[in-house]
Amino acid sequence: MSQLDTAHRPRRPFALLGSELALVFRRRRTWATLGALALVPVLIAIAVRLTTDGSSGGPAFLGDITNNGLFVAFTALTVSIPLFLPLTVGVVSGDTVAGEASHGTIRYLLVAPTGRLRFVLVKYAGAVAFCLAATLLVVLVGAAVGAMLFPIGPVTLLSGTQVGGWSYAGRAVLLALYVTLSMLGLAAIGLFASTLTTVPVGAMAATVVLAGVSQVLDQLPQLDWLHPFLFSHRWLGFGDLLRDPISFDSFGSNAVLQLGYVAVFGALAYGRFATKDVLS
């Protein structure tokens, strides 16, 4: 496999990363998952367009969308966080190492112990790149379809103040970065699960199930003490980015939480991979 060969070329330190990114985004499965995510804002916009005339009485977000198409991106991102994004991230991260093992290419890296840390880092970087691409895609498609089907104008923030379209676009980018950050812990869990098996589907399923379990536990009041430690606890905590002035308190808290999971499960993934026997 080409990226495995380039891992041993010291004069091209980023060749393996470039090869991994190309591998991730050339797969039909990746484009299929991205296409499914792109349908979320499209379906939301079409459903709102066909089922409401902008009058009051329906859910609040319906009125927001019909009054301003820019809200399609925000609504689609909010809808995608609990299920669709974790599902796609679980698929990609669960395939990182297990996919190589299932194709029999991982054994070429196992004979070079000095390359194992870089291999794990590059595989995780590929998963992170997918998280960023997926969230930006939802935002961009949502903004585009919203502009086509609904009027565009100043956006009323949660604090009650209004901002122009370009200012809201900057906040939409921050929302995408917040959601990408929220997926980092799950991607690290998927990477670790991927080192435990040679069957990618098993690692994918385990990662997706853990995402669901974490969200269920986060809804149980009897487990209030556990909630702050769940990687999904702050997935929807981006309200501070929609206030004036912007507060980055939730962003910082989410970063600490997610980076903690990255550190723990990244170390576990490397520890497992560093001692992995040649199985394929």
Give me the mean pLDDT over the 79-105 stretch.
Answer: 88
* Confidence at residue 30, expressed as pLDDT on a 0 to 100 scale: 92
- Is 174 a residue whose pLDDT tops 90? yes
Instruction: Output the pLDDT for position 46.
Output: 92
**Using only C-alpha atoms, what is the Rg of the chain?**
20
What is the pLDDT averaged over residues 169-182? 93
Q: Is the pLDDT of residue 71 over 70?
A: yes
pLDDT band at 245 (very low <50, low <70, confident <90, very high): confident
Q: Give the range with max mean pLDDT: 57-71, 145-159, 160-174, 225-239.
A: 225-239
| pLDDT tens track for 2-33 | 444 444 444 455 777 888 899 899 989 899 99
Output the CA–CA distances (angstroms, integers) from residue 209 to 189, 206, 259, in the order listed.
Answer: 11, 5, 21
Query: What's the pLDDT at 11?
Result: 46
CB contact at 8 A, 97 and 191: yes
Residues 75, 65 contacting (CB under 8 angstroms) = yes
User: What's the pLDDT band for 124 if we cut at 50, 70, 90?
Assistant: very high
Structure-token pair, residue 21 = 């990114």
pLDDT, position 59: 55
Q: Is 34 helix (H, G, I), strand (E, B) or coil?
A: helix
Say what the pTM is.
0.88
Residue 40 clears pLDDT 60, i.e. is over it: yes
Average pLDDT over residues 57-79: 77
The CA distance from 277 to 271, in Å, is: 12
Residue 3 is predicted with a pLDDT of 47
Bridge partners, residue 156, by sequence: 162
Residue 53's pLDDT is 57
Question: CA–CA separation, 184 vs 204, rounded Å?
Answer: 15
The pLDDT tens digits of the residues spanning 194-243 come to: 999 889 999 999 999 999 999 999 999 999 999 999 999 999 998 888 88
Give the tens place of pLDDT for each residue, 268-280: 999 998 887 655 5
257 vs 198, more confident: 257
The pair of structure tokens assigned to 141 is 């498609």
- State the average pLDDT over residues 56-65: 60
pLDDT at 8: 45
Per-residue model confidence (pLDDT) at position 258:
97
**Mean per-residue pLDDT of the chain:** 86
